[in-house]
């Protein structure tokens, strides 16, 4: 049977390749215009109604959260594609459009910007002096990461807030990243959600481009799956993380004015808190979703994202919709249950594209064989694995119309988690009572 997952390697001839460590270094032969349709919200950034609008948004988010909610960067061969086309909005009257319109009534109708809540820095605009002081002159001792964008430092602001300072590589900024930096600022300043990295401010001065965001202390999801952070991430935590990510993306797609498509959902962009909950980061590729109210169903734009996570339909047609994030989320689900990277070049050919390999096993009735070997085959794990792969299969549908919305994904995951908890509790009870019985019979 032909796998529904297409092979990202085959796409390389028509798109640019970039290694993850040199995210901004390559522009493909398609990148002729470099045209950008980044979100333009500059006029509304000081809107006095912002605080009220954001509070309403927070209520929506709270309503969306289920009642039982508690509250590494090393792709072996991960490469990014970058090709371009015109930045136009096209229209049709497909089912996808209708579906998005259904959701659009829940969107807020105010441009909303709010940057202060709780213990947060006073100012959106930082000075170079603030940044130097906070990072001790970009001391290597404060460095916590290095990505395609630049170097990331843990820093202390004067008011005691611990933040992450992301300093763009100068050479990259000059060449390719101007619009990416602007896009990240504009997106970050519009969003506020428990499962998104919080934006504190930025600095643009001379050739310095700096972002100040919430510091998330426990590494990336990829690092946890690789066990680079100590303990093995159990399936319960993986399910919580999947739900957190689903909430974050649902919020971006549905609960803000001018919905946003993230375009780079991947395990190294999911930051993990001390309580093993997830925060989605890195909005460098994010862009505004099509305006469904005016009948648009997709945005035609250059392809951006990371190999292995890229929606094949977007790659082929340059038509971007929220469903491209759903596809990437499907890849992430497979990654969560198998522990493998989306592309594993060292494995034999039929196992190299993880999602394709796992989906084939699932369709053949052998889902259990793809479970991350670090996890045990308990009844609860096995059942959750099957259910998660079933959802992943839907997310990875070749045609975007067949993929569920992110909201639907979250709802399905809630059910999977509920069943998982019940089955785990029942098994715990069973093993407790049988060991008690054994002890009792030994005494007799």
Ligand X SMILES: Nc1ncnc2c1ncn2[C@@H]1O[C@H](COP(=O)(O)OP(=O)(O)OP(=O)(O)O)[C@@H](O)[C@H]1O
Is 18 an interacting residue with respect to ligand X (CB under 6 A)? Answer: no
Nearest distance in Å: CB 278, ligand X: 12
- Confirm or reject binding of residue 149 to ligand X (CB under 6 A): yes
Nearer Cβ to ligand X (213/243): 213
Active-site choice (31, 244, 264, 372): 264
Active site residue 264: yes
Residue 73 interacts with ligand X (CB under 6 A): yes or no:
yes
- Determine whether the annotation assigns residue 170 to a binding site: yes
For ligand X, give the closer residue by CB, 83 or 296: 83
Instruction: For residue 220, state whether it binds ligand X (rule: CB under 6 A).
Output: yes
Q: Is 116 left (phi over 0), alpha (psi -120 to 50) or beta?
A: beta
Residue 405 CA to residue 171 CA, distance in Å, equals: 38
Q: Which among 45, 384, 38 has a CA at the least distance from the CA of 234? A: 384
CB 310 within 8 A of CB 265: no
> Which residue in 292, 325, 324 sits closest to 104, CA to CA?
292
To ligand X, the closest distance from the beta carbon of 391 in angstroms equals: 25
Select 149 or 357, whichever has its Cβ closest to ligand X.
149
Measured distance CA(374)–CA(336) in Å, rounded? 12
Q: Considering Cα of 318, then 172, then 120, then 278, what sign does the dihedral take? A: positive
Stretch that binds ligand X, among 212-220, 226-234, 238-246, 372-380 (CB under 6 A): 212-220
Q: By CB under 6 A, name the one of 271, 337, 353, 392 that touches ligand X.
A: 271
199 touching ligand X, by CB under 6 A: no
Q: Does 23 bind ligand X (CB under 6 A)?
A: yes
Residue 210 and residue 129 in contact, taking contact as beta carbons nearer than 8 Å: no
Looking at beta carbons only, is 23 or 277 nearer to ligand X? 23
CB within 8 A of 191, min separation 6: which ones? Answer: 199, 251, 252, 256, 260
Contact pick of 8, 148, 201, 308 for ligand X (by CB under 6 A): 148
107, 254 Cβ separation under 8 angstroms: yes
| Catalytic residue IDs | 264
What residues make contact with ligand X under the rule CB under 6 A?
20, 23, 73, 144-149, 152, 164, 166, 197, 213-216, 219-220, 268-269, 271, 281-282
């Amino acid at each position: 049977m032909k796998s529904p997952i297409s092979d990202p390697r085959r796409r390389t001839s028509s798109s640019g390749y970039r290694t993850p460590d040199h995210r901004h270094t390559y522009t493909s032969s398609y990148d002729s215009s470099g045209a950008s349709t980044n979100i333009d919200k500059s006029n509304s950034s000081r809107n006095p109604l912002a605080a009220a609008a954001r509070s309403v948004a927070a209520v929506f988010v709270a309503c969306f959260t289920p009642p039982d909610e508690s509250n590494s960067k090393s792709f072996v061969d991960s490469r990014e594609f970058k090709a371009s086309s015109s930045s136009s909005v096209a229209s049709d009257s497909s089912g996808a459009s209708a579906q998005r319109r259904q959701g659009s009534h829940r969107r807020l109708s105010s441009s909303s910007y709010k940057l202060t809540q709780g213990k947060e820095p006073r100012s959106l605009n930082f000075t170079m002096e603030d940044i130097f002081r906070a990072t001790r002159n970009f001391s290597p001792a404060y460095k916590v990461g290095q990505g395609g964008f630049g170097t990331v430092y843990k820093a202390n602001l004067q008011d005691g807030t611990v933040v992450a300072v992301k300093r763009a590589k100068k050479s990259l900024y000059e060449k390719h990243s101007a619009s990416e930096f602007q896009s990240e600022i504009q997106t970050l300043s519009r969003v506020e959600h428990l499962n998104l990295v919080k934006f504190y401010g930025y600095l643009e001065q001379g050739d310095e481009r700096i972002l100040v965001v919430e510091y998330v202390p426990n590494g990336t999801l990829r690092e946890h799956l690789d066990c680079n952070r100590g303990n093995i991430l159990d399936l319960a935590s993986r399910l919580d993380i999947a739900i957190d990510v689903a909430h974050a993306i649902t919020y971006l797609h549905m609960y803000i004015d001018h919905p946003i498509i993230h375009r780079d959902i991947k395990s190294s962009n999911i930051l993990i808190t001390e309580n093993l909950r997830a925060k989605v980061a890195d909005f460098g590729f994010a862009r505004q979703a099509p305006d469904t109210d005016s009948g648009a169903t997709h945005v035609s734009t250059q392809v951006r994202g990371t190999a292995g996570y890229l929606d094949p339909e977007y790659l082929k047609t340059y038509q971007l919709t929220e469903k491209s994030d759903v596809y990437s989320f499907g890849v992430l689900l497979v990654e969560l249950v198998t522990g493998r990277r989306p592309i594993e070049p060292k494995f034999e050919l039929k196992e190299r594209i993880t999602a394709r390999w796992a989906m084939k096993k699932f369709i053949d009735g052998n889902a259990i064989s793809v479970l991350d070997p670090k996890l045990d085959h308990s009844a609860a794990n096995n059942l959750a694995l099957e259910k998660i792969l079933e959802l992943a299969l839907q997310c990875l549908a070749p045609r975007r119309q067949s993929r569920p919305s992110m909201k639907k994904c979250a709802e399905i995951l809630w059910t999977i988690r509920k069943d998982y908890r019940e089955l785990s509790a029942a098994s715990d009870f069973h093993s407790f009572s049988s060991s008690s019985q054994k002890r009792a019979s030994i005494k007799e």
